[in-house]
Homo-oligomer: A and B are copies of this chain.
Amino acid sequence: MNTPARPIDFYFDFSSPYSYVASEWIEALAARHGRTVQWKAILLGATFAAAELKPPVAHPIKREYSLRDFERTARFAGVPLTVPTPFPIPTQNAARLFWWLQTKGNATASHWARHCLRAYFARGVNLSDDTALQGLAVEFGLDALAALAVWGDAEWKLKLKTENDAAIAAGVFGAPFFMIDGEPFWGNDRRAQIERWLEKGPF
Contact = CB atoms under 8 A, between A and B. Distances in A.
Interface stretch (A6-14, A52-60, A104-112): A52-60
21 contacts: A50-B60, A51-B59, A51-B60, A51-B61, A52-B60, A53-B59, A59-B173, A61-B168, A61-B171, A64-B171, A65-B171, A65-B184, A65-B186, A69-B186, A72-B193, A72-B203, A73-B193, A76-B192, A76-B193, A189-B190, A192-B192
A72 B203 CA distance: 7
In the A-B complex, the 10 residue pairs with the smallest Cβ-Cβ separation, listed nearest first, are A189-B189, A61-B173, A51-B61, A62-B173, A51-B59, A51-B62, A52-B59, A76-B193, A51-B60, A65-B184
A201 to B, nearest CB: 13
Contacts of A53: 59, 62
The complex is assembled from copies of this chain, and their number is 2
A65 B182 CA distance: 12
Contacts of A47: 61
A84 B104 CA distance: 49
A114 interface: no
